[in-house]
Amino acid sequence: MREIGRCMEAAGTPVEYLWCSGDPDSLDGVVLPAIRCAVVDGTAPHVVEPQYPAAVDRYVDLGRFYDLTAAKAAAEEVKEHTHAYKAAYQRAYRNLKAARQVELDTITAVQETFDVSKAERRTAGIITRELRRRGGETGKTTRRFLGSLTHKGYIWRFDSVDTLCPKVYELADSWELAGKILAQLHKAAEVNGWDTIACMAPEDPRRMEHLLIPGLGLAFVTSRADMEYGGKPYRRIRLDAMAEPKNRARLRFQLRMTALLREEGMVALREAKTNHDALEAVYNPYVDFDGVRALAALEAGRLLSYLS
């Protein structure tokens, strides 16, 4: 996938990289909008099956590059590391789910004090200033995740925002107050004919956290303690100042509990990564990487031919 992305970039066509949350240094897919094509890792937990085999979609068989006889000799070691990394993931999921449940109680309490009218007035002003009507058809929406919690902690690809959108509104929001505002901005952009990239929250894919409108060079990003934008925004809107949390001692306790449970989840994610790396180390001596590279060049050439 890296080689295909490199070749397509060298040919001057846009490439979108989909990074793996389990290992943010690895790719799960590359999307090539110019030829309406994607190359993806179709193994569990994100299994992808061809809908129209050969005619439209197809498998790229990398299994042919295993030395099967040699790999079978390491079967017990493979099973050991496989069971270990899957067990660590299950522990991570339990802790992260518990952290989210505590966090939701905190967020609900704060949201009850949010000045919705003030936020709506600010939103209406932004729509009037920034989201002029383009005309033509309704805009199209692409949904993506901008980041996630990983074994390295939270990783957010705000570099993608800065590449696509030089004008950034930063929404300072510690309590998930921005969702309805972003939904309103998204609807206005869509109705006015602008294509958008809606970046959803990894813990709740129904809720939008960031909105990119590349055609206007405009983005709206949420920023909080574990998701700092870090750049220099065009405007900074302090949504936190529009809420007045009560019972702050209880909120502080819930925040500590959330952080502790999430840290336990990350410990388990790191353990899963360690065992997955050990599993790869078992397999690597039995893989013909020269053959993999040759196949990558062949597939890249095939995709490049679709550009002409």
Between 179-191 and 116-130, two packed helices, what is the crossing angle to 10 degrees?
30
pLDDT digits (tens, 9 = 90+) for 99-114: 999 999 999 999 999 9
Residue 135 scores a pLDDT above 90: no
pLDDT digits (tens, 9 = 90+) for 156-186: 999 999 999 999 999 999 999 999 999 999 9
Residue 273: per-residue pLDDT = 96
Q: Give the separation between CA 155 and CA 205, rounded to whole angstroms.
A: 17
- What letter does residue 231 receive in the DSSP assignment? S
Two tokens, residue 270: 């790191």
**Residue ranges in the chain assigned as alpha helix (H):** 2-10, 68-72, 75-111, 116-130, 158-164, 179-191, 248-283, 289-305
pLDDT digits (tens, 9 = 90+) for 9-61: 999 999 999 999 889 999 999 999 999 999 999 887 788 889 999 999 999 99
Two tokens, residue 271: 């353990």
User: In this structure, what are the phi and psi dihedrals at residue 18, rounded to the nearest 5 degrees?
Assistant: -105, 110
Residue 46: per-residue pLDDT = 83
Q: What average pLDDT does the segment 70-92 reach?
A: 95
Residue 268 scores a pLDDT above 90: yes
User: In this structure, what are the phi and psi dihedrals at residue 271, rounded to the nearest 5 degrees?
Assistant: -65, -40
Residue 198 scores a pLDDT above 90: yes
Q: Give the separation between CA 166 and CA 218, rounded to whole angstroms.
A: 7
Residue 308: per-residue pLDDT = 78
pLDDT band at 221 (very low <50, low <70, confident <90, very high): very high
Spans of all domains in the chain? 1-66+288-308, 114-243
Q: Give the separation between CA 111 and CA 100, rounded to whole angstroms.
A: 16
Q: What average pLDDT does the segment 194-210 reach?
A: 96
Asked, as a colleague might, if the bond just before 45 is cis with ω within 30 of 0, I would say: yes
Q: The pTM is what?
A: 0.92
Q: What average pLDDT does the segment 124-134 reach?
A: 95
Q: Give the separation between CA 76 and CA 169, rounded to whole angstroms.
A: 53
User: In this structure, what are the phi and psi dihedrals at residue 2, rounded to the nearest 5 degrees?
Assistant: -60, -45
Q: What average pLDDT does the segment 141-150 reach?
A: 96
- Residues facing residue 237 across a β-bridge: 171
Residue 43: per-residue pLDDT = 85
Please state which of the ranges 37-51, 205-219, 262-276 shows the lowest mean pLDDT: 37-51
Report how far apart, in Å, the C-alpha atoms of 300 and of each of 70, 137, 233, 308 are: 30, 34, 38, 14
Q: Which residues contact 270 (CB under 8 A, 6 or more apart)?
A: 151
Q: What average pLDDT does the segment 284-290 reach?
A: 96
Q: Give the separation between CA 129 and CA 125, rounded to whole angstroms.
A: 6
